[in-house]
Amino acid sequence: MISFSGDATDPEDGTLPASAFTWNIDFLHEGHVHPGLPITGTKSGTFTIPTSGHDFSGNTRYRITLTVTDSNGLTDSKSVTIFPRKVNLTFDTVPSGRTLYLDGIAKTTPFVHDTLIGFNHSIEARNQTSGANTYTFQSWSDGGAQTHTIVVPGTAQSYTATYSVTSTPTPIAFVQVNGAVPQSPQSVVTVPFSQAQTAGNLNVVVVGWNESTGNITSVTDSAGNAYQVAAATFRGSGLSQAIYYARNVAAAGPGGNTVTARFNKAVTFADVRVAEYSGLDQTSPFDVSRSATGSTSQASSGAATTSFARELVLGAGITGGGFTGAGSGFTLRVITNPDGDIVEDRTVTTAGSYSAVAPQSGTWIMQTATFKGAGQ
């Protein structure tokens, strides 16, 4: 509460009556003014500082102005400025960096709010999500409810909201596939990613050719991603195939990244397939691979035993005949034309033994390579 009083005299009128007095109590906030209603006809009074409504954060103060008017209509004014008593309130969350609401305004923790002693504030710790994490309110350090009102104490105080955190795994998802199947012997084969590429995704490159000789000398792309072997070159009857991958790839626009596979000689019926996936570990995604060759109608890589619960199981095969579809449990991504070679995949949610299988007609090489999901 603010008490105010004043007096005034005039050479002609002497002591001026209360009717000559007008008081203005204005709230000043930074560089602007919230004017109060004039108080007239009194030499003194009191003003109660509000404890709700406009807060007192920042450069806030009251200006009390007394204007006195004599019988001739002449006026004189005097002002005093009163600064309220304030304290700092510190707000945080566990874990830090979450959003709290102070009087309905979102603020990222930690933060400090300077405010009037005795003022009423509403504080709210809403449940929230960020990325793959869900944050559920558990408690306030002052024991209050998820949303409650605090009365600013006479000394600095801290308020902390504690959350429990649960993670929703980023789903493993297929993004795109493309291929190149030159029908004459080639020592260099290029194939673009036709769609835009998202930073952090995984590229897979399957390189096959219809010879049991010849070697891959390099797999590169125009975006500068580094490729590693997932399944080494495996030989069959007149067939060869390998699987490469690049983790945490750079972003690229549509058609903006082209893969180049180079051989130590011109190879026959080269078949280069490229695929992109999201939701995989960006540091060390590759887990395990298996390769096999045969001439049965059902091509099978043999079982690869995975180490993590959530994995991408990619199957790729080359054949002297043609694949006719995806194997049981797998999704077909491409059968190249006219070569008839395949890329298929599935996502698994438990660690175990998985084989890449697919129906075909001819001799074949079938390979599987597995990649762990992000957050494991």
Co-location of 111 and 130 in the same domain? yes
pLDDT tens digits for range 42-55: 999 888 888 887 77
Same domain, 304 and 337: yes
Nearest 5°: the CA angle 330, 194, 189 is 85
Judged on CB neighbours under 10 Å (0-12, 13-18, 19+), 302 is middle
> End of a domain among 66, 82, 98?
82
Domain match, 211 and 237 both: yes
Query: How does DSSP classify residue 19?
Result: G
Among 48, 82, 116, the domain boundary falls at 82
Ranges of the chain with pLDDT below 50: none
Q: What angle do CA 367, 369, 373 make, to 5 degrees?
A: 160
Task: Report how many helices (DSSP H) and strands (DSSP E) the chain contains, helices first.
Answer: 0, 36
Helix (H, G, I), strand (E, B) or coil at 352: coil
Q: How many domains does the chain have?
A: 3
pTM above 0.85, yes or no: no
16-53: burial string, b at 16+ Cβ within 10 Å, e else: beeebbbbbbebbeeeeeeebeebeeebeeebebeeee
Domain encompassing residue 260: 173-372
**Contact between 208 and 201 (Cβ < 8 Å):** no
CA distances from 166 to 136, 169, 173, 201 (A): 8, 10, 21, 23
User: What is the pLDDT at residue 96?
Assistant: 96
Same domain (yes/no): 178, 139: no
User: In this structure, are 327 and 198 located in the same domain?
Assistant: yes
Residue 256: count other Cβ atoms within 10 Å of its Cβ: 16
Residue type, 300: S
Centre a 10 Å sphere on the Cβ of residue 324 and count the other Cβ atoms it contains. 15
Task: Give the count of alpha carbons within 13 A of 283, CB side only.
Answer: 3
Tokens of 290: 């298996």
297 and 329 housed in the same domain: yes
- The predicted pLDDT at position 138 comes to 97
Rg (CA), the chain: 38
Which DSSP symbol is given to 83?
Answer: P
Same domain, 134 and 58: no
Same domain, 305 and 182: yes
